[in-house]
Amino acid sequence: MAIDWKAEVEKRRDDILEDLKTMLRIESVRDESIATADAPLGPGPKEALDAFLNIGKRDGFEVEEFDGMAGHIKFGDGKEDLGILAHVDVMPAGKGWDTDPFNPVIKDGKLYARGASDDKGPSMAAYYGLKIVKELGLPGILGISESSQIARDLLLAKETGVHYHVCHVSTKESVELVRLAKQHKINVTCEVSPHHLLLADVDIPGNDPYYKMNPPLRGVEDRQALIDGLLDGTIDMIATDHAPHSIDEKTGDMREASFGITGSETAFAMLYTKFVKTGIFTLEQLLQWMSINPAEKFGMEDAGELLPGKSADLAIFDLNKEYVIKEEDYLSKGINTPFTGEKVYGQTVLTMVDGQKVYQKEEK
């Protein structure tokens, strides 16, 4: 999730400055001549450290103190752990600083406080960075929940010889498992959704339910692995995972909203614009993944190609037409997609099903 740090700091301006002023009121000059076993740097630094850790406790963080000299404010578990190692003694800042060392300020979303030899300002800046992450943090779905299931199912497919198809893979581990399975002649195919090719978790702007789907958006490396998997043949096809929802179902907190986004009306134009127009895919490859391969892999003999005697199931696009994706132009009742507002090429002008015209773009 991308964070607008300036905006989030400005929202918390008063709280940040009040907490830092609390710290600055503590005389914490290092003085080992009056040190004790509990305060080896002197009583001042120990008092400042305790005050800092108490702020963390107040806000619900797990904290830990080490030997009266440093402390840890922790968020997360195991390898996902984030934290601040704080050490808050101080020496005079000297001359030449553009702010009063005892009067912190926030300018343009940045915190200015004390001098370079003081850890209070940097520690509080780091602390509020962690606090913002905690407050904006949304529960995720671990990639292992996907790849471990695929690994199990691939072994079952190997044992039984059945055709195993994996829907909307999203992680680099999943791609590697399918690649390895194909090398071992396991009868497996898989698909990827347009949004997992187009977006990564860093593109999520905040607590926005339009970015909630299952599987969730993964990391940048996962997204690249999906692209590479298409190009090397590991991934066989692209499928929209079209999931329209009402406005109520996709409004409010991301944690309470329904999973899924729409895809049928945006898939071709977005993929053509972002991948074909940029030279990453060819048009032939995109048509293979979206049309020909699905028909071949699932034995749909009357679909996938435009040939005499076959059903005329087709969509015609104007590849030179640039347009903006707008909510008012959707035919689906579901408008839940993060791609609204994108400028794209490849507007749909005609759709036919079994030779019958079911949609034609009206000229305005």
Residues with a known catalytic role: 241
Phi, psi (degrees; rounded to nearest 5) at 346: 95, 50
Separation of alpha carbons 49 and 57, rounded Å? 12
Separation of alpha carbons 39 and 48, rounded Å? 11
Q: Both tokens of residue 135? A: 């407050």
Separation of alpha carbons 114 and 189, rounded Å? 60
3-state SS, one letter per residue, for the chain: CCCCHHHHHHHCHHHHHHHHHHHHCCCCECCHHHCCCCCCCCHHHHHHHHHHHHHHHHCCCEEEEECCCEEEEEECCHHHCEEEEECCCECCCCCCCCCCCCCCEEECCEEECCCCCCCHHHHHHHHHHHHHHHHHCCCCCCCHHHHHHHHHHHHHHHHHCCCEEECCCCCHHHHHHHHHHHHCCCCEEEEECHHHHHCCHHHCCCCCHHHCCCCCCCCHHHHHHHHHHHHCCCCCEECCCCCCCCCHHHCCCCCCCCCCCCCCCCHHHHHHHHHHCCCCCCHHHHHHHHHHHHHHHCCCCCCCCCCCCCCCCEEEEEEEEEEECCHHHCCCCCCCCCCCCCEEEEEEEEEEECCEEEEECCCC
Q: Both tokens of residue 309? A: 């005697």
